[in-house]
Every structure is written in C-alpha cells, then in structure tokens.
Structure 1
Amino acid sequence: MAENGSSKLDTPTNISLVATGDLVSQSLEYKTVSVFLVLLVCGVGIVGNVMVVLVVLTTRHMRTPTNCYLVSLAVADLTVLVAAGLPNVSDSLMGTWVYGHAGCLGITYLQYLGINVSSCSITAFTVERYIAICHPMRAQTVCTVSRAKRIIAGVWVFTCIYCMLWFFLVDIQVNSAGHVQCGYKVSRDLYLPVYLIDFAIFYVIPLLLAIILYGLIARILYLNPLPHAPNSGIAMATTLRRSCKEPSDATKGGAQSGRPKTVTKMLAVVVVLFALLWMPYRTLVLINSFVSTPYLDAWFLLFCRTCIYANSAINPVVYNLMSQKFRSAFRSLYHCRRHAAHTRSLSTLQMGSQITPTRHDPGQMPPGPSWGGGGPLLGPAASLLFMK
C-alpha cells in the first residue's frame, strides 16, 4: 500500500473510508463507481428509513412494541448512512479528509453510535419476539409499547456513553504527501482489545443470541406448536394480538394466525442480512488485526463499504416486501402526502378566486360599509390568516 493511504479501515476498523491513495483508488473509474454506488445506496436508504419513521409515528395502529424497535433501527441506520456514507463521497472525490479535527471526532462517534444502536435494536426485537411467541402469558406485561420505549431510551443512552471512547482513539494526521487523514492515533496493541470487545458485544453475541432465540421460536411455530387447549389458546391469541396490535376479527382468523409467523420471518430476514452484509468487513478487519501485511485491495474495500451501507438501506425494502401492514402504510403515507399537496393547491386557488374584485352595476352601491369596502375583504383576509 502506498505511504499516503488515508483509509481509516487500514488502522483498522472505521468505515468512513477515504481514498486509499494507491493508483486504483485515484483512478477515474474507481471514483466514478464509488461515488455512484454510495449515492445510490445511501439515497435509497435515507428515503426508506425516513418513511419507516413517519409511518410508525403517524399511523396509530402501527405503534406496536416491535415497530418501536424498528423505528430505533431506522434512526440508527440513518445515522450510519449520513455519518459514514455521505462523507465518503467527498473522500472519494478529494482524496483527503476535509472535515477537520472536530469533524473527525464527531463523524467517527456518530458512525459507531449508529452501528452499535442498530445491533442493540436488532437484539431487542429478537428478545421481544421470543417472549411474545414462546412466553405469551409473560408477554402481556413485558411486550408493551411503554416498556419498549424505555428499553430503546436505555439502549441509546448506553451506546452514547460507550461510543465516547472513540473520542480518545482517533485524530487527524498529515502524511508525507500532504494528504490529511482521519485515523487512529494509537498503536495496534492498544486499539486491538477495544475492537475485539466491540466485535464481541455488537456482532458475535447478538448473532449467537439470535440463532438460539429464533431456533426456539421456530420450534414453537413450526415443529412443536403450543397446545390448543381453550385457556392456552385464548391466552396465546390475546397475547399475540396485544404484541402485534392486530385487530381481532373472526373473519380473518386464518390471516391472524399467520401474521405472527410473517412478522417473525420478516425480522429473521433482517437479522440474517445484518450478519451477511457485515461479515466481509468484520472478517477483513479481524484478519488484518493479526497479520503483518494487511489486505487492503481498493475494490474489495469498496465492496465492504457498499455492504455496510446496503445493510442500513435494505431494511425498509424488506418491510415492504414481507409485511402487508407496512406495504399498506407506505402506500397510505404516499397518497396522503399527494392528497395534502393537492388540497393545498386547491385552497390557494379558491382563496385567489374569493379575493377577486366583483363588478357591480354602476347604478348600485357596492356592498359593505362606505369606508373603503373593508367589510368584503375581511372574510378572505381572515381566512388567509388562519390557513395553514
């Protein structure tokens, strides 16, 4: 690798990858592909995650415990896309760090904040699904929206404090070629334990827990369903309706019984994608942490970055494909926005027509008081004041 490399992955874990300084990363082909991929993936991800947040916050029946965790995941993914993805565009174009010392600290902090909160949110909704499916009686008091909000607040507070560690590990540096880079200011022996702890807490442990819990869930849903005794059946149905906030409609019995499976499969897909899309980067960093000559091929680094950004962008697509409720809510949100814009346009036209002067017969007095016609203008003017 060239001496003027400025990738924070080189040192070895940050995902805000600056152009690596070699001939490949400085080529027009590499810059074009890199900028195009980042803008495409981040653009789709930002729009999709914003829609997830809006749908859950503005639609009453979408405010469920599981969806609360999905909102937390969407906000975390937005943080990753904005703090890690978008700065990468300027890095690729300029080949140097342009955000200064404060930007280096702040962007690095936000990157790890988003990454770690997304991992914790996935773990939280995995545990929530396990309790709702495997322990329906306990779920009546545990799987609630208020408790989900408290757990999410605790996750964000814990992660905000934990990620402050990165303020002391990174700094900007200027190499011999004059390129500014945002990278680690400590040796490998010091940052390696920190990375391994981070790797274990926010990747290995969540995945192991997910494998165990989804295995138990699958046993209940597919291999060994709960007995259909009257009391247990009522408790199970009541709990699942409370957890998923599905309306109890006798005419939709078959669909109702299948919805817990659909929700669980959708969340399991999110976990699998998290594992697969983070695996190239995590594996590369783990290997490079122990070898004397790290593997830093520019195209493979671009592949790792793209996988990370895709992980933060793909979840809304999964919701839309696998959840009828999300699909309908997305469609309703889109139509509501269009209807609101159309209504505002009509209101503007109507107000314009109301304030248009009216022609009167020359032989008749104009309506209203004789002191300047203030009366006729009061209606339209007042309505304009209160129009939003």
Structure 2
Amino acid sequence: MENSSRLDSPTNISLAGADTGLALLEYKAVSVFLVLLICGAGIVGNVMVVLVVLITRDMKTPTNCYLVSLAVADLMVLVAAGLPNVSDSLAGTWVYGHAGCLGITYFQYLGINVSSCSITAFTVERYIAICHPIRAQTMCTVSRAKRITALVWAGTAIYCLLWFFLVDINVGPRQHLECGYKVSRNLYLPIYLLDFALFFVTPLLVATVLYGLIGRVLFIGPVSPPVTGATERWKDRSGRERNGAGGSQASSHSRARGALASRKQVTKMLAVVVVLFAVLWMPYRTLVLVNSFMARPYLDPWFLLFCRACVYANSAINPVIYNLMSRKFRAAFATLCKCGREEPSRRGLPPATTGCSAGRDLQPLGRGNPRRALVEGTADAP
C-alpha cells in the first residue's frame, strides 16, 4: 500500500506528524487557536439559528427550513472536522481508533455535501417564489421544504456510505497512527472528481443561472402586479366608495413596495451565502483536485491551515450574515439571548408576556391571509 501523508488524507484532519515544520510550537499554537476560535463561534451561531427557527412561530418559513438544514450541516462539519483536528494536533497521533476514523470521515463528508445541497435547495425555492409566484402557492410551503430536506439528508447519507470502505487506520513514517487512505491514493481520483462536480461545480452553476433570473425579475422587471381590472372597477364607484378604494389601493401599493424590498433583501442575503460558499471552498477543493493528479502532493503546512480555516469559516460565517442582513433573524437572536437572562419568576408566564415571544417585529405582513402573503413575498422572508 502506498504511504500517504495525513495532511493528504480524506479526512484532512491532522495538523501534526507529516512534516518537520508541523512539530513547531508556533505552528501548533496558531493552528489550535485559530481552529478553536472559528469552530467555537460557528457552533454557537449555528445552534442559535436552529433554535430561533424551531421556537419562533413566525420564523417557520420554507427558506428558513433550508437554512436550518444548512446550519445543522455546518455544525456537523465544525464538530466532525474542526474539533478532532485540534485534539489530533495536540496529541500528535490519531486518538479516536478505527471506529472514530470511519465515523468522523463519514460525518465530515455528510456535512460538507448536505451543506451544498441545502444551498441549491433554497436557491431553487427562491427562484420559484419570485419568478413563478402562482406556482409558489403550492410548491413553496413549509411541509414541502421539510420533505425535500429529509430527502436531501437521506440521499446524501446513502451516498456518503462509500467512505466507510475507503479509509482505515495506518501507521505513519514516525510510527504514529493516522486516519488515511485504505488503498492507493490514485484510486481516489474518480471519487474526488465526482464530489467536485456534484457538490461544488453544480450548485454554483445552478445558483449563477437562477440568481441571474431572480435579479432580472427583482431589479429589472416590473415591480408591481397588474391592476387594470381593479382600476376600471374603481372608476365606476361613487365618490365615497372611491375614496375608500383609494385608501385600500394605496395600502396595497405600500404592501407591494414593502414586499419587493423584503424580497430583494432576502435575495441579497442568500446570494452572499452562495458567494462565500464559492470563495471559501475554492482553496480546499482546488488543492484536493490538484493533489489528486500530482505524484507528490503539495503539502505546505501553512497553506493547508489556510485551506482548513477557510472551510471552517464558511461553516461559521452564515449566522453572522443572517444577523447583519436580516432584521427578523437579528430580532430573533436578540430575543433568544434575552430569554437566557430572564428572571425565574417570569418563566412560568405565557410566551406572549415573558419577552421570549417573537414579537411584532417577527410577524410577516399579511399574516391573516397566508396565500396573499406568499404572493406578496412577505411570509417567506427570513
């Protein structure tokens, strides 16, 4: 069997043992601090995303279902890749045994692949909701989003079972244990190419095309639905009725403008998530692909640390984006933090009086008419 460096292993976990430079205290200190900082912040942020969507009624939208799926996948990446990375670096050897090698590798790839599938899912959902609003009334629902999310996780879980047969515990050049390739590294090229095509190139191509179509509708196309029939009926009414209809018409236009602004903001936020996914995953994906073709893979420790930091940052940064670009997420995060500091005497009160309810700021416009809210684009805004 061909000897392979741990840094070139499928798990891409270990920070020590493959090169003399990796034993330097400076490198270990920087790498452990950086990974702990990014992973710690990411774990807290993604847990908050899951909690605010689960406990806040008005945050249960189709888009947010996919964002919860993305948050859980990111949590899996941070826990299964980042934290073992730290312990393996400090110990200088693989400490999780054969079962740990199989399980950690599996959950890393499951989280990585589900995250890209979740991005594709909410991109398609946004496209249908904005470009085909009539069809969205039946297709863009919470129940449908839950079913799609379940299918994504089930299908990806089956696909990733392949890794149980591809990794094993090996003895490194310095007699330390490592979780690495089970067979020759060259045999993994088709797998890496398939992963690269399915879970990186394809989501980015789909996102590029669909966000282009969405942008054409939101920023170039008409900004309000046709009102010709309503206008003609308005002309035939009496003076007092006309005044009442005029107020209703103004209110309708105000809601339409608010819905359009909300849709634009949501689209911008999700587009930023996609762009960061592309930018932060590019170094790692490119390195793995290039190393698959090279007889001697490129294993500069500092560049490998940079690639890993980018991957962990991608899994940690999404909650920050939601907080910066979504008023509803920002208010929900603030409410969740206040609940943790709530006085014990008030915790038995109903949710509406405890300060832990969603509040009016989290209620979508047109909540009394879900059909109208979906068409206007307010019910599905994060």
Q: Residue 6 of structure 2 aligns to a residue in which SS?
A: coil
| Distance in 2 separating the partners of 1:197 and 1:40 | 32
Aligned 1:142-153 pairs, distance under 5 A: 142-153=139-150
User: 1 or 2 for the larger relative contact order (CA 8 Å, sep ≥6)?
Assistant: 2
- The 1:25/1:110 distance shift into structure 2, 3 A limit, reads same
- Aligned with 1:74 (options 71, 76, 93): 71
- Aligned with 1:200 (options 194, 197, 209): 197
Instruction: State the AA in 2 paired with 1:311.
Output: N
1:92 and 2:89 are equivalent in the alignment: yes
| Distance in 2 separating the partners of 1:29 and 1:127 | 45
| Distance in 2 separating the partners of 1:110 and 1:174 | 23
**Contact 1:130 1:213 (8 Å CA) reproduced:** yes
How far did residue 288 of structure 1 move?
1.1
Counterpart of 1:269? 272
Counterpart of 2:242? none
1:162 and 2:165 are equivalent in the alignment: no
**Contact 2:188 2:292 (8 Å CA) reproduced:** no
Deviation digits for residues 49-94 of structure 1 (CA, Å, limit 9, x no counterpart)? 0000000000000000000000000000000000000001111111
| Distance in 2 separating the partners of 1:48 and 1:227 | 36
Instruction: State the AA in 2 paired with 1:317.
Output: V
How far did residue 289 of structure 1 move?
1.1
Counterpart of 2:369? none
Aligned 1:206-245 pairs, distance under 5 A: 206-225=203-222, 228-230=225-227
Q: Residue 303 of structure 2 aligns to a residue in which SS?
A: helix
Aligned 1:39-58 pairs, distance under 5 A: 39-58=36-55
| Distance in 2 separating the partners of 1:203 and 1:232 | 47
Q: Residue 96 of structure 1 aligns to a residue in which SS?
A: coil
Instruction: State the AA in 1 paired with 2:312.
Output: Y
- Aligned with 1:125 (options 122, 126, 151): 122
Q: Residue 314 of structure 1 aligns to a residue in which SS?
A: helix
How far did residue 21 of structure 1 move?
2.8
Aligned 1:353-372 pairs, distance under 5 A: none
Instruction: State the AA in 2 paired with 1:318.
Output: I
Q: Residue 71 of structure 1 aligns to a residue in which SS?
A: helix
Instruction: State the AA in 2 paired with 1:298.
Output: P
| Distance in 1 separating the partners of 2:312 and 2:169 | 24
- The 1:192/1:5 distance shift into structure 2, 3 A limit, reads closer
**Contact 1:76 1:115 (8 Å CA) reproduced:** yes
| Distance in 2 separating the partners of 1:342 and 1:117 | 42
Counterpart of 1:297? 300
Unaligned 5+ runs, structure 1: 234-247, 346-388
Counterpart of 1:255? 258
How far did residue 256 of structure 1 move?
2.9
Deviation digits for residues 197-250 of structure 1 (CA, Å, limit 9, x no counterpart)? 1111111101000000001101111122366312899xxxxxxxxxxxxxx988
| Distance in 1 separating the partners of 2:228 and 2:50 | 37
| Distance in 2 separating the partners of 1:229 and 1:111 | 49
| Distance in 2 separating the partners of 1:20 and 1:126 | 41
Unaligned 5+ runs, structure 2: 231-250, 349-382
**Contact 1:69 1:148 (8 Å CA) reproduced:** yes
Moved over 6 A (4+): 248-251
Deviation digits for residues 281-305 of structure 1 (CA, Å, limit 9, x no counterpart)? 0111111111222111000000000
Q: Residue 20 of structure 2 aligns to a residue in which SS?
A: coil
- Aligned with 1:307 (options 307, 310, 319): 310
Query: How well do the aligned residues superpose, as a CA RMSD in angstroms?
Result: 2.2
How far did residue 181 of structure 1 move?
0.5
Deviation digits for residues 253-311 of structure 1 (CA, Å, limit 9, x no counterpart)? 54332001100110000000000000000111111111222111000000000000000
**Contact 1:45 1:312 (8 Å CA) reproduced:** yes
Counterpart of 1:371? none
Q: Residue 299 of structure 2 aligns to a residue in which SS?
A: coil
Counterpart of 1:6? 6
**Contact 2:11 2:105 (8 Å CA) reproduced:** yes
How far did residue 153 of structure 1 move?
0.4
- Give TM-score, length-normalised by structure 2: 0.81
Q: Residue 289 of structure 1 aligns to a residue in which SS?
A: helix
- Give TM-score, length-normalised by structure 1: 0.80
Counterpart of 2:106? 109
**Contact 2:73 2:111 (8 Å CA) reproduced:** yes
- The 1:319/1:161 distance shift into structure 2, 3 A limit, reads same
Instruction: State the AA in 2 paired with 1:312.
Output: S
